[in-house]
Amino acid sequence: MRIADLPAADRPRERLMSRGAEALSDRELLALLLGSGAEGCDAVELAGQLITRHGGLYELSRADAHELAGSLPGIGPAKAARVAAAFQLARRVAPASRDPRQRIRGSADLAAVAAPLLAGLRHERVVVIICNSAGVVLRTATLTEGVVDRSLLPVRDVLALVLAAGGTAFGVAHNHPSGRAEPSEPDRLATARLSAGAAAVGLKFLDHVVVTDREWRRVDPAVGVGYS
């Protein structure tokens, strides 16, 4: 049966309008994004197949548009782009609703500010949170993009970015696409070098954290490592 053949009260769009989005299942919500089904199945069935094909809604949210397109008959570039765009918008809600003058008082604040910039990524990204002397966030910036579990943290570039933005304090965060928040030895070495480099140019280094989709972990510096 096509969605158009269902009673109006059972169609996802009509149910959303009358009862709210909370009343719809995951596949019904996804079906509204897809807009149409494929040969032999309606949009709701296609949405269910897409969720199953990618191992669940969470894993689907991490897939990029190129990966989605062609993954099933009926999922072309247009539908793939709509799905990827919807998940990206959801990730951007958190920073949009945050107080633009948020203050970094500790590692947890740093992780909270960085998390929306790192959520759902399958490659490693380093972000820098630049603050004034009171810890008020002036700017968040993506510094580098890398590959799975390979940290890219050039100390001189971090310091130059902070100074150019007029900051006097900064913190750094990056993700581990593997989902494991445990810091690596290169992470600890980078923390030590960042701390030493900040001190050398008169900046306050707030912290370095690893952020995954489910948790975060503070990166303690390696011992005996200086700025180079």
**Cα torsion at 145, 90, 13, 71 (round to 10°)?**
20
- Side chain identity at 151, as an amino acid letter? S
Q: Which of 16-25, 90-99, 120-129, 192-201 has the highest mean pLDDT?
A: 192-201
Which tokens is 135 given? 């810890």
Residue 12 contacts residue 28 (beta carbons within 8 Å):
yes
Q: For 99-158, how does the pLDDT look when each residue is reduced to its tens digit (9 = 90+)?
A: 556 889 999 999 999 998 888 888 888 999 999 999 999 888 888 887 544 446 889 999
**Which architecture characterizes domain 98-218 according to CATH?**
3-Layer(aba) Sandwich (3.40)
Q: Which of 84-98, 130-144, 173-187 has the lowest mean pLDDT?
A: 84-98
Q: What is the C-alpha separation between 212 and 177, in angstroms, rounded?
A: 7
Please tell me the distance from the alpha carbon of residue 199 to that of residue 43, in angstroms, as a whole number: 58
Tokens coding 9: 């009260």
Contacts of 106 (CB under 8 A, 6+ apart): 207
- Write down the pLDDT at residue 227: 57
Q: How confident is the model at residue 62 (pLDDT cuts 50, 70, 90)?
A: confident
Determine whether 138 is exposed, middle or buried from the number of CB atoms within 10 Å of its CB (0-12, 13-18, 19+).
middle
